[in-house]
Amino acid sequence: MADEAFQSLAAALRERIAVIADRELYARDPAAHLEKLKSVSEKITSLAAALPQPLAGDFAHYLHRASYAKALAWLEARA
């Protein structure tokens, strides 16, 4: 179950990176791009809050500070 929670979070973090990289959507419809970014960011917050506690200190720090690239790297290093 815990592995599934971490995998879901990693998928959401990858999704956020993809949204940020979607320059075509940003150029075509900045409001829609922002909404997608907000949506995936809320999903990340929700998934992170549901993780089993306590979290490793560095990983918790990355999530708290929204250092999502570092959080994803942390997850991938332990997969």
This prediction has a pTM of 0.92
Cβ density class 13-48: b for 16+ within 10 Å, e for less: beebeebeeeeeebeeeeeebeebbeebeebbeebb
Residue spans per domain, the chain: 2-77
pLDDT tens digits, one per residue of 9-67: 999 999 999 999 999 999 999 999 999 999 999 999 999 999 999 999 999 999 999 99
pLDDT of residue 2: 72
